[in-house]
Amino acid sequence: MTHPTPIELAEAARAWARGSYSMEAAVELLIQHGVWLHRPEFRRYAIDYVTATYTRIPYAVIDWQAAHTALSSGRLPCSGSEAAILRIALSLADGLPVELGPAITRLDATNLARVLAAIGHASGNRVAWITTTQGDPA
């Protein structure tokens, strides 16, 4: 199987997560952050790219536990802010604990806005990405 392009991978991850606000939020956080889905190590340890035989829709299945294990064991080298984004996504998607204080202090304004959008999405607000990442329309 050929490697999907970043756009194909993002769409396949969205298709896989569809239907669960928290899963959608975690996947969208990784997509909007623009780092993890592009990392070969992350793809190797945590993503299985499959096509559903009954729908022909490609899915990028993220193994959150494998991602957590790889990050915790040092197999996913990254900056502090990159680790914070992944840890927050892991918490949203799979309930893995994250120390929120230290995590958010590692984020710049753009990534903090992404996290806030993800939290809004996880609570049922699918338009949170529009309002949070583009600023307050007022």
Tell me, yes or no, whether 59 lies in a domain. yes
Tell me, yes or no, whether 135 lies in a domain. no
**Residues 84, 30: Cα–Cα separation, whole Å:** 11
Tell me, yes or no, whether 105 lies in a domain. yes
More confident call, 52 vs 10: 10
Distance from chain centroid for Cα 112: 14
Distances 138 to 38, 100, 120, 131, 135 between C-alpha atoms, Å = 35, 29, 18, 10, 9
Tell me, yes or no, whether 40 lies in a domain. yes
pLDDT of residue 112 exceeding 50 = yes
Per the structure, the complete domain to which residue 51 belongs is given by 6-129
In the chain, the number of structural domains is 1
Tell me, yes or no, whether 26 lies in a domain. yes
Tell me, yes or no, whether 19 lies in a domain. yes
Rounded to two decimals, what is the model's pTM?
0.90
User: Each residue of 56-109: pLDDT tens digit?
Assistant: 888 999 999 999 999 999 999 999 999 999 999 999 999 999 999 999 999 999
| pLDDT average, residue stretch 124-138 | 66
What confidence score (pLDDT) does residue 134 get?
Answer: 53
E strands of 41-121, at which residues?
47-51, 58-62
User: Each residue of 36-46: pLDDT tens digit?
Assistant: 999 999 999 99
Least confident of 33-37, 47-51, 87-91, 113-117: 47-51
User: Each residue of 15-33: pLDDT tens digit?
Assistant: 999 999 999 999 999 999 9
| pLDDT average, residue stretch 123-135 | 75
